[in-house]
Amino acid sequence: MTPTPTVDPGARSPIDIPGPLDEPCRYGVYTGIELDLQSADAVPPAARLGLEPPRFCGQCGRRMVVQVRPDGWDARCSRHGVVDSSQLGRR
């Protein structure tokens, strides 16, 4: 009988897709505009104060599905996965 191969959950795959807010971001997470083209005043004041969750993926600029909860938020990009405010220490 052949042993069943096991997968190490901590091992990285050869194709490592960055998360929606992983650095370096190419797009503004509050505007969806390329960072090279975004003006300094494009970020809303509430976002600058940390009161607004990111609405756009920083990797592809797509609009994310954002769920705001009493204890934080989570955001999902269809291409780059999910990020939660608890992962960023913003709860």
pLDDT in 10s for each residue of the chain, 91 residues: 555 555 454 554 456 778 888 889 999 999 999 999 988 889 899 988 888 999 999 999 999 999 999 999 999 999 999 999 988 876 5
The C-alpha atoms of residue 71 and residue 45 are separated, in whole angstroms, by 21
- Predicted confidence at residue 2, as pLDDT, reads 56
- Predicted confidence at residue 81, as pLDDT, reads 92
pTM: 0.76
10 by Cβ neighbours in 10 Å (0-12 / 13-18 / 19+) ranks as: exposed
CA distances, 24 to each of 20, 48, 49, 88 (Å) = 10, 19, 21, 15
